[in-house]
Amino acid sequence: MASYSLTTLWYERQRYVPGVLAVAFSALLIALQVGLLLGLFSITSIPIDHTKADVWMGAPEVSSVDLGRPIPEGRLARMAYLSEIKRCEIYLQGFAFWSKPNNGGSELCMVIGSHLSPDSLGKIKELTPEQCGLLAEEGTVIIDKSDEKKLGVEIEKKAEISGYPVRVVSTTHGLPSLAGPYVLCSIATARKCLPVWKDNTTTYVLGQCRNRQDAPKVVKQLNQYKDVLAFTQDEFSKRTRLHWLLRTKAGIALGYAAALGLLVGAVVTSQTLYAATVASLREYAVLRALGIPRWRIAFMVVSQSFWIGIIGIALALPAAYGLAWAVEYFIRVAIVALPWWLLSAAAAVTLAMALVSGLFALRSLRQIEPAMLLR
Amino acid sequence: MIDDSLLTPALQGVHLSRSFGEGETKTTVLYDVSIELFSGQITLLMGPSGSGKSTLLAILSGLLHPDSGTVMALGHDLWAMSDLERERFRLRHCGFIFQGYNLFNALTARQQLEMVLRWGEGASAGEARRRAEEMLDLLGLAKKAHLRPTELSGGEKQRVAIGRALIKEPNFCFADEPTSALDWKAGQQVIELLRSAAHDRGATVLVVAHDARIIEHVDRVVHMEDGRLWQQEEHEAREPVLHTLKQAR
Ligand SMILES: Nc1ncnc2c1ncn2[C@@H]1O[C@H](COP(=O)(O)OP(=O)(O)O)[C@@H](O)[C@H]1O
Ligand SMILES: [Mg+2]
């Protein structure tokens, strides 16, 4: 049964091309948009995902890792006191103004100051031990290679953060940013760059549990106090990405675009199938005259829509990978995330769309009338 | 031995009327037409264009509802059945051939035939293939089984269409102008095939055609004009014999 629909699809392929392309386009659109969304917003939680802390504790109103407020450094004791905690430390993160050299203007940047020892919880994993050694000197910073142009500096160039002179000593690779370029440094340097964080304050207290499974329990105990808010690493990462999704309305916009893509795909696919069925109306009418039930013909149309969906998806998935690769190749940042579950979901949604188009195309079958053959 | 089925008509239309349209544009196409068709016979229905031949064929074959009158087919009142019952009746008993060949462009000659068995009877792929090949052989198309309609001549296409109509071995075969688009040689082949369906398989065959040359290839000719049958020619020995037999009973 499938063979008749596939044979027809292949033999009259030029007729079905628009439908196949529409399906491929929809699948590609969904995969790339959601992939872009995932990729973009995973950038926002890099400070959480690329460090080793199991527990993050910050100011009560914190809704995203980049929006931390100062809390007294003394809150560290609260965490250190818990028996599940193996070690804990402070971590500074905040926005500051970066003044480019030679009055080149200024940029908003995101300063991250952490301990730099090999077992530090707040040290971004992209930093090598040598780089950590360089940062030990006060007034030194490391930026990402991709931000050099934006910040108007290169290695060994000097700039100012909030009026404090800093020197770029090295660069990382593959540390993209959304709100402002990351500037990595020691706690001491960060205090100079972030005047809001006076001595004896911190943005977060990071904790490592003796046993990682205890993190939710630790969080629960810390949240008994109303002057702090604590999260597990995973919770805080999700909270940050969700915040960005909603704050930027990007999620909603991309959602609409994906829905529009699906709609266009469905209309084109449905019209393709409708036209193809109408073109074979007399042949189907003969089958009806011969007493072949209507559902057999309906099944033929729907199975054509199924195969259109499968072929379209088969075209779209490699294309999605190719485009994601091209983006990565040209802007040197893996900005599109295409996990397997996203690709399967995009495939499932598009296949469903193709089948629904097939069902809509069934209205053409009402025109099948055996008496039309008697002229 | 006289088979009972040769005496009672396989298909009987009684007092059939049909008109199209409403009110002032209403035109009557069939006026009180009665006709009997017998199993094992090929009947030719002739008449000028627009005289109602196709309409009569559609009513007799269960495709078009008459305004009044009845059609008895194999002892069943065709137009007293539900739509579904009539559809099943056609599936089991009726084959059709139309003027255009109406073959699927994408399918080979063999697939056109297989499709009817697979979709109609739920036949297995193997059985459908075997029977389709048998039928194509009979039609002289064994070597063309793998060809698509665009690769076949008009006569060959019409033979495939005949194969599609006959493959389920129907009791009735209805052909509406199956030869009009063909040259005489191909048309003759088509008529011979329909004739052998009647004579060799015992089917009841009704053919609508224009060409007077066909007359000598059929068992019986029925003329139609302006929605009325006006003459039944019986020009082979068989018919009178049957009538005598009927009277003798
Ligand atoms: N569906 C229809 N609606 C209106 N008029 C019809 C329809 N079908 C047939 N007719 C008319 O009925 C008449 C007889 O048609 P038809 O049976 O096709 O004649 P024939 O097959 O002998 O040429 C014609 O005048 C035709 O226009
Ligand atoms: Mg006609």
Q: How far is B102 from chain A (nearest CA, A)?
A: 5
From the alpha carbon of B49, which atom of ligand 1 is closest?
A: 23
Q: Does ligand 1 have an atom closer than 6 angstroms to the CB of B60?
A: no
Report which residue type is found at A346.
Answer: A
Q: Please compute the mean of the pLDDT values over residues A125-135 and round it to a whole number.
A: 94
- In sequence order, which residues have a C-beta less than 8 Å from that of residue A33 and are 6 or more positions away? A254, A257, A258, A261
A348 shares its domain with A265: yes
Q: Is the CB of B52 under 6 A from ligand 1?
A: yes
Chain B hits for A374, Cβ within 8 Å: 54-55, 57-58, 63-64, 98, 176
CA distance A304 to chain B (A): 13
A205 lies in the same domain as A131? yes
Whether B163 maps to a domain, the answer reads no
Could you tell me the pLDDT band of residue A16, with boundaries at 50, 70 and 90?
A: very high
Task: Determine whether the interchain pair A287/B100 forms a contact, defined as Cβ–Cβ distance below 8 Å.
Answer: no
Does residue B20 register a pLDDT over 50?
yes
ipTM of the complex: 0.90
Domain with B91 in it? 9-20+27-102+170-248
| Residue B188 covered by a domain | yes
Contact, A172 vs A127, CB < 8 A?
Answer: yes
Say yes or no to pLDDT of B233 above 60.
no
Residue type, B203: A
If one counts the domains in chain B, the total is: 1
Instruction: Kindly state whether residues A275 and A343 are assigned to the same domain.
Output: yes
> Do A67 and A212 have their domain in common?
yes
Q: Using 50, 70 and 90 to split pLDDT, how confident is the model at B239? A: very low
Within a domain: A147:
yes
Among A10, A78, A12, A74, CA closest to A283: A12
- If asked whether residues A272 and A352 sit together in one domain, one would say yes
Q: What is the mean pLDDT of residues B13-40?
A: 94
> In this structure, is residue A133 part of a structural domain?
yes
Q: What does residue B12 show for φ and ψ, rounded to 5 degrees?
A: -140, 115
pTM above 0.80, yes or no: no
d(CA B52, nearest CA chain A) in Å: 10
pLDDT score at B129: 96
Residue B53 Cβ contacting ligand 1 at under 6 Å = yes
B51: in domain: yes
pLDDT for A241 equals: 86
Residue B239 vs residue A337, higher pLDDT: A337
**A192 in a domain, yes or no?**
yes
Q: Which of A167, A196, A227 is the last residue of a domain?
A: A227
Burial call B128-153: b when 16+ CB within 10 Å, e when fewer: bbebbbebbebbebeebbebbbeebe
Among A196, A227, A258, give the residue marking a domain's end.
A227
Tell me the average pLDDT of chain B.
90
Q: What's the pLDDT score for residue B248?
A: 38
B 104-143 → A contacts, CB under 8 A: 104-107, 111, 115-116, 118-120
| φ and ψ at residue A128, rounded to 5 degrees | -85, 160
Contact status, residue B155 vs residue B101, Cβ threshold 8 Å: no
Residue whose Cα lies nearest atom 26 of ligand 1: it is: B50
SS3 of residue B160 by DSSP: helix
The answer as to whether A243 is a domain residue is: no
Identity (one letter) of the amino acid at B157?
Answer: K
Is residue A12 located within the same domain as residue A131? no
Specify if A340 maps to a domain: yes
Question: What mean pLDDT is reported for chain A?
Answer: 91
**A82 shares a domain with A20:** no
Determine, yes or no, domain membership for B195: yes
For residue B19, the CA-to-ligand 1 centroid distance in Å is 9
**Number of domains observed in the structure of chain A:** 2
Neighbours of ion ligand 2 (CB under 5 A): B 54
Q: Give the C-alpha separation, A66 to A76, whole Å.
A: 20
| Cα gap A297→A358, rounded to integer Å | 12
Cβ contacts of residue A302 below 8 Å, gap of 6+?
A: A355, A358, A359, A362
Q: Is residue A268 a part of any domain in this protein? A: yes
Neighbours of A209 (CB within 10 A): 21
Give the mean model confidence (pLDDT) for residues A268-279. 94
Q: How many CB pairs under 8 A join A and B?
A: 82
The verdict on a CB contact (< 8 Å) between B100 and A12 is no
- pLDDT bucket at A176, cuts 50 / 70 / 90: confident
CA distance between the termini of chain B: 14
Confidence band for A246, pLDDT divided at 50, 70 and 90:
confident
Say whether pLDDT at B3 is over 80: no
Task: For residues B29-56, give the mean pLDDT.
Answer: 95
Whether ligand 1 lies within 6 angstroms of the CB of B50 is answered as yes
User: Which residues touch B239 (CB under 8 Å, ≥6 apart)?
Assistant: B219, B220
pLDDT at position A213 over 60: yes
Q: B140 CB under 6 A from ligand 1?
A: no
Instruction: Record the tokens describing residue A187, joined without a space.
Output: 């706690």
Residues A69 and A37 in one domain: no
Measured by CA distance, the residue closest to atom 7 of ligand 1 is B20
* Residue ranges making up the domain that contains A312: 2-43+249-374
Q: Chain A contact for B181, CB < 8 A?
A: no
Is the domain of A257 the same as that of A215? no
Could you tell me if A253 and A303 lie in one domain? Answer: yes
Check which CATH number belongs to the domain holding B67 and give it: 3.40.50.300
Per-residue model confidence (pLDDT) at position A100: 92
Do the Cβ atoms of B106 and A291 come within 8 Å?
no
Does pLDDT of A43 surpass 90? no
In angstroms, rounded to a whole number, what is the distance separating the alpha carbons of residues A30 and A317? 11
Q: Residue B234 pLDDT > 60, yes or no?
A: no
The Cα B218–Cα B234 span in angstroms is 10
pLDDT at position B241 over 80: no
> B55 C-alpha vs ligand 1 centroid, how far in Å?
6
Q: For residue A362, is pLDDT > 70?
A: yes
DSSP E strand boundaries for chain A: 55-58, 71-72, 85-99, 106-114, 140-144, 158-161, 164-172, 182-186, 201-202, 204-209, 229-232
Q: Is B33 in the pocket of ligand 1 (CB under 6 A)?
A: no
> Is A244 contained in some domain?
no
> Quick one: A149 and A193 in the same domain?
yes
Strand segments, DSSP code E, in chain B are 11-20, 27-37, 42-46, 68-73, 76-77, 94-97, 172-176, 204-208, 220-225, 228-234
- Place A251 in a pLDDT band, splitting at 50, 70 and 90: confident
How high is the pLDDT of residue A52? 93
Kindly indicate the confidence band of residue A174, based on its pLDDT and cuts at 50, 70 and 90.
confident
Q: Checking DSSP bridges between strand B42-46 and strand B204-208, what pairing results, if any? A: parallel
Q: Best mutation site among A12, A369, A373, A375 for testing chain B: the one with the most B CBs within 10 Å?
A: A373
Task: Determine contact, residues B143/B159, Cβ cutoff 8 Å.
Answer: no
DSSP A52-120: --SEEEE-TT--SGGG---EEGGGHHHHHTSTTEEEEEEEEEEEEEEEPGGG--EEEEEEEEE--STT-
Q: How confident is the model over B73-122, as pLDDT tens digits?
A: 999 999 999 999 999 999 999 999 998 899 999 999 999 999 999 999 99
Tokens 């009987």: give the residue.
B12
Q: How far apart are the first and last CA of chain A?
A: 31
What burial class does residue B181 get, using C-beta atoms within 10 Å of its C-beta: 0-12 exposed, 13-18 middle, 19+ buried?
A: middle
Is A370 a member of any domain? Answer: yes
| Least confidently predicted of A92-106, A323-337, A340-354 | A323-337
Q: Are A161 and A96 spatial neighbours (Cβ–Cβ below 8 Å)?
A: yes
**Ligand lying nearest the CA atom of residue B98:** 2
Shortest distance, CA B248 to any CA of chain A (angstroms): 38
CA of residue A165 relative to chain centroid, distance: 35
Task: Determine, for residues B104 and A280 on separate chains, whether the beta-carbon distance falls below 8 Å.
Answer: yes
pLDDT of residue B193: 94
User: Looking at the CA of B45, which ligand is closest?
Assistant: 1
Tell me whether residues A290 and B168 touch, CB distance under 8 A. Answer: yes
Same domain, A223 and A90: yes
